[in-house]
Amino acid sequence: MAVRIYSLAKELSIDSKELVDVCARAGVTGKGSALASLTDDEVVKVTDFLKGSSAKSGPSAAATAKAPASRSAPAMVRPTRDGASDRLRTISAPKAGRSANARLQRTDQEMIAEATEETPAAADSGDQEPAVGEAPATETRAEVETSAPVAEATDHVAPISESEEARKTDLSQPGPLARMMKRDDYMGPGGAGGKMPVIGAKPGAGKPSTGKPREAAPKARPVVKLAALPTPAQKAPVKARAADDGPTQKPDMKLPSEVMGASRSGGAKPLAAQLKRAERTLEAAKLRDKAGAEEEAEGKRRGTPMLGGREARQLNRNRSGRTAMRPRRMMRRTRRTGVNTAAPRKDRIAVQLPCSVKELSEAAGVPAVQILRILMDEGVMTNINAQMDPELTEFIAAELGVDVDFLQPETLEDRVLMRLEEIEDPEESLVARAPVVTFLGHVDHGKTSLLDRLIGIDVAGGESGGITQHIRAYRIENNGRPMAFVDTPGHEAFTEMRARGAGVTDIVVLVVAADDGVMPQTEEAISHAKAAGVPIIVALNKIDLPGVDPLRAMTDLNTNGLQPSEWGGDTEIVKTSATTGEGLDELLETILTVAELNEYVANPDRAAIGTCLESQQDADRGVVTKVLVQNGTLKVGDIVVCGDAYGRVKAMLDPLSPRTRLEEAGPSVPVNLTGLDIAPSAGARLYVLDDIAEAREIAETRGKSQHNEYLGATGFRQTTLDTLFERLDGADEVQTLNLILRADVRGSIEALEKELSKLEHPEVRLRILQRSVGGVTEGDVVLADASEAVIIAFNVVADDKARAKASELGVEIRRYSIIYKVAEDLKLALEGLLKPEQREVELGRVLVQMTFKISRLGVIAGCRVLQGVVERNARARVIRDNTIVGDYPIDTLRREKDDAKEVREGYECGIKLGGFNDIKEADLLEVYKVIEVTRSFDD
Ligand SMILES: Nc1nc2c(ncn2[C@@H]2O[C@H](COP(=O)(O)OP(=O)(O)OP(=O)(O)O)[C@@H](O)[C@H]2O)c(=O)[nH]1
């Protein structure tokens, strides 16, 4: 029965990375990572080899590594087929050839063998000791290795056991994965109680029942090669944060990039923004202090005392020349008290947004009228209460010669939600949770089909246009081991959904079609997975197709930083076919193995935190929100806030069987929940609060800020720098196509917006006046009529009233179900708005042979067509002595006495030019016409 290397390593209490090396040295080749499997024969070979090494190494090892004598014993134990050996997991092995690494290792082994053969005595001779002794203290080599006669050989060996001191040193430095793996109390699912091990669990919890005291147990440090190791900042296990990382900045589960990133979309106030703001405030305070100190020093340098009120005012007046603006009343009061209360002119100011003219004037210490004058000079007539956006505020500040910092007041959201994010879960509260596995990859590479086959459903068959346009999440149990799967769309428009999928995941399954190889969205998915710092397993799919060349895809992957484990790299590549089912068991096993090695934990006893993956307006159930609970337990009746939505959880449904109601959902459980007042943005964090009023306030504040953004986008703007410049540049002359977007889910709106944002042209633009989830309403139609907008209904329909109103007002409602069709049609519509290009087409050349003056008509030229053709409504450039005399329309074209439509080369004709009678014999006419050519974006 096949045994994974890491399982065997565990049984032997030996580092799994070392076991990989030992395999190579024992002549068991092609085992590139700890996930590789060993047959029974190979197990025997390896353990025999270990025994042999141990026998050889004995005294010299002890002498060289100074390790406790007891340590080598467990490493030598050959697992029996009963008892302990029953705990070995048997999973089918990836078909691994002999890897480059293995070849290298083999070379080492051969070298060792040769060296040993040639100089058998040398193994124990003093010649070898310096080589071993050179190894750094933190990398104490194991006894089995100390018999290796060459220094290089020791470099390939991980420790089997270490002195307590070396172990501590080692533990102080590991990366997150190493930390996850450093446990010596780990046992696989077949171990004590089959319970998942817990990071940070108390000593003894979840330990294998070896009967040995903890201290005596050799330190097993299984090393499994995985792609994209999480950095501590990206993926610190909860325990690590609680223990030694200072104040928590992240929850134990990853914040999606939307939450960490720009906050204006309504997510939680991002941590980065908080920090930046705090930094700015500090910096502003420092600068203020510095400026004050400098001013004082300057006064002293000049031998003048510190400026009093009057002198300071005088200096200000001299500097700014704004004497007339200073209110007299203030001056008088200052004189009486002898203290300068007038706001002095500053070099750096801090204002709170949104900032009014009045507030800026007060902060900068300049009269409001001066700011109004600057605005007036730029063509903006406004009053002192007008609010300015950050850019305009900066512009005015620059005009005034001051630097400006923006302050934001601490909101309820900051207070409540940041506190929730920062709660640290006590170690004893953490329990194992199911891994969240996200399928990413290029469009049509088979993500949905694979997942369908794994879960036993058929989603792929029912997709519009055969492409996935929604993110989905399911939870299944495989042999009692739960897993959550997230399926993402592969079409390029859905970048945000992919990023969101990667943001909530623990493991990425990168689906690559073997016939297609690495494609643009594969590369993007690799970047998302790497950014999320999660392990990547590649499913090399469609392996059933005739003539596919897996080697090419593997080479592509290698080039993209995913070196296959078969080639000695870190990435497990499983060859699969969603059509035949080939490789699916192996894929599942690999996922579970990686999950086991990473120990995902959460605290189910706290208030839930989750992420909205998607939300939609359902005709019967209202707003239905797909949420992945990431920590804590979400219960029916909980008060929640999610983006700009809030409410009480009314019902929770299992996404796999929508009729199954759940009363509560713990960590890693996806649910479809109802009860929110509006559809929140996909990617918004969900929090459980105690107070419905707080939830409402937070949601409403976020809603308002989004509304302001909407006003900004639709032209109902505050005074902004953009409006100012647009007016000056005449940019409003750009042809605009107004749109109202209605879609089934928020994710579709995002994807539509992204796709439409690509339709850029300096002369035409799309303006989305409104974007919302749900069917088209009468209000949309009225707005569309007033703003001459087109309504795009994506996967939704108009209600009866809206339909009636639309036909009454002649408003167009266009229905779509495939995202790229919307973009295609709107591109055509925009191209229609482009002014056609006027293009000249040369027709022919004509020689004037003689002229006739006709009193009623003017001068007629008798001509011969030298080349090409002359057409009646064409134009002609008159050329005399190689100089263009003029450019005129051909008014009359005659062939003999008849009007002609055209006259061809070699024929004679009479031509009368419009507005030009000075035509002369021997003039040359260059005849051409102007045609209008419709333009496209690609011109
Ligand atoms: N021959 C073969 N066809 C497959 C396999 N897997 C998927 N397909 C086909 O490939 C097409 C795309 O499959 P999907 O599962 O929709 O691909 P996807 O990656 O989910 O696509 P998007 O979600 O739109 O990005 C479908 O026609 C499937 O039947 C496979 O292993 N072998």
Predicted pLDDT at 707: 57
Instruction: For residue 96, give the 3-state DSSP assignment.
Output: coil
Distance 540 CA to ligand 1 centre (A): 12
Helices 40-65 and 16-25 pack at an angle, to 10 degrees, of: 110
pLDDT of 926 above 60: yes
Helices 447-455 and 584-598 pack at an angle, to 10 degrees, of: 90
Nearest CA, atom 29, ligand 1: 449
Mean pLDDT across the stretch 443-459?
82
Distance 450 CA to ligand 1 centre (A): 8
Predicted pLDDT at 205: 33
Distance 543 CA to ligand 1 centre (A): 12
Beta strands in 442-530 (DSSP E): 472-478, 481-487, 507-513
Work out the burial of residue 210: count CB atoms within 10 Å of its CB; fewer than 13 is exposed, 13-18 middle, 19 or more buried.
Answer: middle
pLDDT of 4 above 90: no
The segment with the largest mean pLDDT, out of 74-78, 398-402, 669-673, is 669-673
pLDDT of 303 above 50: no
Contacts of 387 (CB under 8 A, 6+ apart): 354, 355, 356, 718, 719
Predicted pLDDT at 903: 93
State the catalytic residues: 444, 447-448, 491
The whole-angstrom separation of Cα 82 and Cα 537 is 32
Type of residue at 342: A
Residues above pLDDT 70, as percent of the chain: 62
Predicted pLDDT at 683: 81
Q: Please list every protein residue whose CB sits less than 6 Å from any atom of ligand 1.
A: 441, 443-449, 460, 466-468, 489-491, 541-542, 544-545, 577-579
Does the pTM surpass 0.80? The reply is no
Mean pLDDT across the stretch 293-314?
39
Higher pLDDT, residue 726 or 768: 768
The number of the ligand 1 atom at minimal distance from the alpha carbon of 541 is 31
Instruction: Indicate the range of 89-93, 651-655, 890-894 predicted with least confidence.
Output: 89-93
Pocket test for ligand 1, best of 442, 444, 820 (most atoms within 8 A of CB): 444
The segment with the largest mean pLDDT, out of 224-228, 321-325, 438-442, 638-642, is 638-642
Burial 327-338 (b: 16+ CB within 10 A, else e): eeeeeeebeeee
The whole-angstrom separation of Cα 831 and Cα 572 is 48
ipTM (interface predicted TM)? 0.98
Pocket test for ligand 1, best of 449, 509, 521 (most atoms within 8 A of CB): 449
Higher pLDDT, residue 810 or 731: 810
Q: For residue 465, is it left (φ>0), alpha (ψ between -120 and 50) or beta?
A: left
Q: How confident is the model at residue 817 (pLDDT cuts 50, 70, 90)?
A: confident
Nearest CA, atom 32, ligand 1: 542
The segment with the largest mean pLDDT, out of 237-246, 325-334, 696-705, is 696-705
Tens of pLDDT, residue by residue over 217-261, are: 344 433 333 334 334 334 334 333 333 444 444 444 444 444 444
Predicted pLDDT at 479: 79
Which amino acids are annotated as binding site for GTP, given as ranges?
441-448, 487-491, 541-544
- Mind listing the domains of the chain with CATH numbers? 5-51 (no CATH), 348-407 (no CATH), 434-599 (3.40.50.300), 603-712 (2.40.30.10), 733-832 (3.40.50.10050), 837-933 (2.40.30.10)
Average pLDDT of the residues of the chain = 70
pLDDT of 265 above 80: no
The DSSP element (H or E) to which 756 belongs, if any, is helix 746-757
Predicted pLDDT at 421: 78
Type of residue at 112: I
Mean pLDDT across the stretch 12-31?
80
Enumerate the H helices of 533-672 as residue ranges. 550-559, 584-598
Tens of pLDDT, residue by residue over 464-514, are: 555 556 677 888 888 788 889 988 776 665 566 667 666 788 899 999 999
Tens of pLDDT, residue by residue over 882-891, are: 899 899 999 9
Higher pLDDT, residue 902 or 620: 902
CA-to-CA dists, residue 428 to 117, 200, 238, 431, 670, angstroms: 54, 8, 11, 8, 25
Predicted pLDDT at 668: 93
Number of Cβ within 10 Å of residue 827's Cβ equals 19
Mean pLDDT across the stretch 205-222?
37
Q: How confident is the model at residue 380 (pLDDT cuts 50, 70, 90)?
A: confident
Q: Quick check: bond before 354 cis, omega within 30?
A: yes
Instruction: Indicate the range of 163-167, 301-305, 546-550, 725-729 predicted with least confidence.
Output: 301-305
Predicted pLDDT at 857: 80
Report the Cα 504 to chain-centroid distance in Å: 11
The number of the ligand 1 atom at minimal distance from the alpha carbon of 449 is 15
Tens of pLDDT, residue by residue over 605-641, are: 999 999 998 888 887 888 999 999 999 999 999 999 9
Mean pLDDT across the stretch 157-166?
40
pLDDT of 735 above 70: yes
Distance 503 CA to ligand 1 centre (A): 24
The DSSP element (H or E) to which 410 belongs, if any, is none
